Amino acid sequence: MRTANPPDAKGHPMNAPVDRTAAVTLWPAQWATVIPPFREIEELLSRELLVWDERRRPRMTTVCKFDIRTRTVLAPDGRSVAFVERQFVPLGAVAGVINLLERKGIDCIVDERRADSPRWVLGTRIRVSYAASAALGALAAARTVRVVERAENEIAEGIAAACDAYPDARIAIGLPTRKTLERFMQRFAPRFREPLGFYLGKRRLPGRVSIGLIGQLPIKYEHSWDLLVLPHAESTVGDRALEVVQSAKFPRVLSFSRVYATGDVNVDERMSMLAEIVRPEPRPNPPVTAVILAAHGSTPGKWADAFEEKRQLYVGNAKRNRRIAEIGKGLANGRRKSAIAVLGDERTADLVRDAAAGGIAILVETPAHARTLAESLTGWVVRTASQRGDSPPVRPIAGCGYIVTELGAAATDLEVRVVIRATGTRWPMPDIGWPRPTAETGVLIDFSDEYHEVAARHARHRVEHYRRTCAAVWP
């Protein structure tokens, strides 16, 4: 490796053409270092942070840091100048840093300092489900990887497959809270038939595969683990969790998140420290067409609070619920005549009927609303977030669809192309992971709710949001 460039007057290394090589070292503590440091990297990883003091002054912060050790060199004028020798970069930013340097004509030499133990050997008993192939493919692609998957069952299936595929490896599964641990165990335990170790409170039972709170996993013994699994990456990025991840005791880290980015800059930066790559790679969201129909709801009485308002306007509105059920039945049977009858327009019916061949779901807010609609939709499958994860997914029979709550849709794969939004309210469409990236298009059916001035005002708020986010709004 050639020597680094001499610093400028402020002690920064000058990126002169004399040295066109950067050494990028990947360390077991889930950080990478770059020698020599480059100011371009600091600019790449910096962002403006609003400081909430009395003057609300913005300042710059960065997710890269510098080694506290310095090196003394001679400047061109003969003075001795000390400057920082190494630049630290989180694993999630390494690919972008290398791309930045190579675009500037700087050769990057990557030095891999992480190593697997002799226990990390692929076995012969490998599951072949889609979830298993996604998890195993991620582990083969990189030592630290994040898999984006919404369905809790698929996450549990993938983790169980990884544990089976490496039968000698010692694997730790870290959860952020007792509640998430108990919910994950409902899905994971039926899929994994070996004895499980536990690290929860005073219960400390070692095992080849152990599960526990992330802050209670033992990290005292060198080479005691081969893989750390984080089923809830978005919630497992606190200071203590990152301390465990960066303890250099886990040669590999497999994490799962429900979204590519949470929208919270701090959480997203911390998630970037968990993984070198994200699988599958993000794809553009498919275009969605919103179709607004009349609802013909019952006229409600007076209400005392917001709960009663929602019950009278939407959940318990019998006439509106019958209208929603009629539309669901008319679209699910696949006949053009039925689609025209419930939608009232041939052009709209053709659009929605073609999409309905890819599946239909009625989206509700509460299980009570789902049960009410299910009384009129025999054969339709109800999905809620409270259903047990060890039960196999049930698919509707021909000519039927799903009735799914918002939380249930967010926790499962909603592989349909038409969503009938029965929730009402004034709020934008929640993030339920629909339509799936594999779908070409999606159709969202909502209602103008003109039967009451409050419901109509709420509907106008929803339509305004659709006009900003959807590819088209009919009519």
**Is 340 within a domain?**
yes
pTM: 0.71
Residue 292 confidence (pLDDT): 95
Read off the CATH number of the domain in which 459 is found: 3.40.50.10110
Q: Are residues 210 and 73 in the same domain?
A: no
Strand partners, 273: none
Q: Are residues 41 and 181 in the same domain?
A: no
Q: Which of 259, 279, 299 is the last residue of a domain?
A: 279
Q: Are residues 269 and 293 in the same domain?
A: no
Q: How far apart are CA 237 and CA 398, in angstroms?
A: 44
Read off the CATH number of the domain in which 227 is found: 3.40.50.300
Q: Are residues 417 and 459 in the same domain?
A: yes
**Residues spanned by the domain of 28:** 21-112
**Is 10 within a domain?**
no
pLDDT digits 0-9 by tens, 262-320: 877 778 888 888 888 898 887 787 899 999 999 888 888 888 888 999 999 999 999 99
**Is 199 within a domain?**
yes
Residue 6 above 50 pLDDT?
no
Q: How far apart are the first and last CA of the chain?
A: 66
CA 218 to chain centroid, in Å, comes to 27
Residue 446 above 90 pLDDT?
yes
Q: Are residues 467 and 327 in the same domain?
A: yes
Give the best-scoring range by mean pLDDT among 10-19, 86-95, 241-250: 241-250
**Is 122 within a domain?**
no
Q: Are residues 77 and 152 in the same domain?
A: no
For the chain, what is the domain count?
3
**Is 6 within a domain?**
no
Q: Are residues 324 and 452 in the same domain?
A: yes
Which residue, among 188, 154, 156, has the nearest Cα to 412 in the 3D structure? 154
Instruction: Write the CB contacts of 204 (distance below 8 Å, at least 6 apart in sequence).
Output: 198, 216, 218
Residue type, position 233, single letter: A
Residue 28 confidence (pLDDT): 87
Q: Are residues 249 and 384 in the same domain?
A: no
Q: Are residues 434 and 466 in the same domain?
A: yes
Structure tokens, 8: 């400028």
Which residue, among 170, 173, 183, has the nearest Cα to 214 in the 3D structure? 173
**Is 310 within a domain?**
yes
Q: Which residue has 């109800």 as its token pair?
A: 382
Average pLDDT over residues 237-252: 89
The burial class, CB within 10 Å (0-12 / 13-18 / 19+), for 50 is exposed
The answer for 352, left when phi > 0, alpha when psi is -120 to 50, beta otherwise, is alpha
**Is 121 within a domain?**
no
**Is 63 within a domain?**
yes
- Structure confidence at residue 14 as a pLDDT band (50, 70, 90): very low
DSSP letters along 417-453, please? SEEEE---SSSPPP----S-TT-S-EEEEEE--TTSH
Q: Are residues 219 and 254 in the same domain?
A: yes
